[in-house]
Amino acid sequence: MTITLPGPTLGVVGGGQLGRMIGEAVAPLGVDVVVLDPTPDCPASPVVSDQIVGGFDDADAIHELASRVDALTFEIELADPDLLAEAAAEHDVPVHPDPDTLRTIQDKLVQKEALVDAGIPVPEFVAVATAEGLERVVEEYGGVMLKAREGGYDGRGNVPVRDPADAADALDEIGGAAMAEELLDFEREIAVMGLRGADGETRTYPVTETIHREEILRESVAPARTDDATVAEAESVARDVLDALDGRGVFGIELFETREGDVLVNEIAPRPHNSGHWTIEGARTSQFENHVRAVLGWPLGPTDLVAPGVTANVLGNVEETQPATLRGVEEVLAAPDADFHWYGKNDARPLRKMGHLTATDRTADADRDTLLSRVRDLRDALTFRDA
């Protein structure tokens, strides 16, 4: 293909931290970014060309976005696939990943069924509609992760249920259509950022280890501290997932490594993913830049590791919503081995993702355990609480 600059304008549905980091990544390449987000002054707003203030299901806003750009993508699964497809068709702009893929992924039950159809290994799962049904499944599986079929994120919509007596409360907490997955006694959680570009070209980033607490990602270690066979299996599963999906872009593929050494797919995100934030410093091309390269049909950048890196999320350590004032930043700024990323959110909420930091070690004897301790210490010195 022939590429000329000034570059294309990219429309992004969603202007949260992922939209912000997309904007930061592609400004040097001359890609103008316009985001659509319901929150005025959303995180992406100060670093992109323009924001259209509108809801993810606001047809007029999505048509306005499509009319102003050369390509469309989204950074949040709440994007409406029908509206995206319709606006893209009417304004004759490509949209990636394919809205059909988004539709499949949005419903976790449909997503899992599609993976099974493609022969991809997943945990046992079943749809549940009633407390009685859930009780039976909890007994059969010996514990389940109850998941909202739609709309969950950052731990919301995921409820572990180990005792059948908790079934009714768990369903109430989910509050909508639900599915139950066997609660795996896994060895560790891992993830692969997969990438599909023009002409079906796929690439994967080095396998990442992800550390969750209360269903929320806390740290990512790259490369994962696991054995070569598991790494090879994770890459193989990730490539199968990419082959089963339509459209270009980055896909965050979350996996379980079982105690038996099997690799099962947990969930897929059709966009850059928190477990790939380390790629900004630790990989030759970040997941954000490569997402845009893929969406635009540009040549993909190398996904090679530059240096082992560990990312720690900075979450809102507050009891209730309050204006965000993060203290202790001077220590992170003074750290020669850490890079800080602030998401520009005005309010801190309990466990809300407010930023992250990544520690990298470019020396030959980089040790990931040490990096993990280091980045945790730096992160734990940050606080939104009053002094």
**Residue placing its CB nearer to a second copy in the complex, 29 or 85:** 29
The continuous run of DSSP H or E covering 317 comes out as: none
**Residue placing its CB nearer to a second copy in the complex, 225 or 362:** 362
According to CB under 8 A, which residues from 124 to 143 bind a second copy?
none
Query: In degrees, to the nearest 5, what angle opens at C-alpha 237 toward C-alphas 116 and 197?
Result: 105
Q: What residues form DSSP beta bridges with 353? A: 315
Q: What residues form DSSP beta bridges with 242? A: none
CB of 235 to a second copy, least distance (A): 19
Given a contact cutoff of 8 angstroms between Cβ atoms, the answer to whether 101 and 246 are in contact is yes
Cα(204)–Cα(250) distance, rounded to whole angstroms?
9
According to CB under 8 A, which residues from 271 to 290 bind a second copy?
284
Binding status of residue 308 toward a second copy by CB under 8 A? no
Binding status of residue 2 toward a second copy by CB under 8 A? yes
Binding status of residue 298 toward a second copy by CB under 8 A? yes
Given a contact cutoff of 8 angstroms between Cβ atoms, the answer to whether 34 and 49 are in contact is yes
According to CB under 8 A, which residues from 318 to 337 bind a second copy?
324-327, 329-330, 333-334, 336
CB of 26 to a second copy, least distance (A): 10
Closest CA to 245 of 206, 278, 202: 202
Binding status of residue 261 toward a second copy by CB under 8 A? no
Ordered strands of the 50-53 beta sheet: 50-53, 32-37, 9-13, 71-74
Give the x/- contact pattern for a second copy in 345-364, rule: CB under 8 A: -x--------x------x--
CB of 75 to a second copy, least distance (A): 16
CB of 88 to a second copy, least distance (A): 23
Peptide bond into 81 cis (omega under 30): no
Closest CA to 339 of 309, 366, 367, 364: 309
Binding status of residue 39 toward a second copy by CB under 8 A? no
Cα(30)–Cα(159) distance, rounded to whole angstroms?
43
Tell me how far CA of residue 257 lies from CA of 171, 191, 224, 370, 379, in angstroms. Answer: 27, 10, 11, 23, 27
Binding status of residue 225 toward a second copy by CB under 8 A? no
Cα(310)–Cα(4) distance, rounded to whole angstroms?
36
Binding status of residue 160 toward a second copy by CB under 8 A? no
- For tokens 């990636």, the residue is 96
Cα(248)–Cα(347) distance, rounded to whole angstroms?
34
CB of 350 to a second copy, least distance (A): 18
Antiparallel, parallel or unpaired: β 249-258 and 263-269: antiparallel
Stretch that binds a second copy, among 15-23, 51-59, 182-190, 213-221 (CB under 8 A): 15-23
CB of 286 to a second copy, least distance (A): 11
Binding status of residue 339 toward a second copy by CB under 8 A? yes
Q: Give the 3-state secondary structure of residue 24.
A: helix
Single out the residue of 8, 10, 32, 102 in contact with a second copy (rule: CB under 8 A).
32
**Residue placing its CB nearer to a second copy in the complex, 16 or 99:** 16
Give residues in contact with a second copy (CB under 8 A).
1-7, 20-21, 23-24, 27-30, 32, 46-49, 284, 293, 298-299, 301-302, 306, 324-327, 329-330, 333-334, 336, 339-342, 344, 346, 355, 362
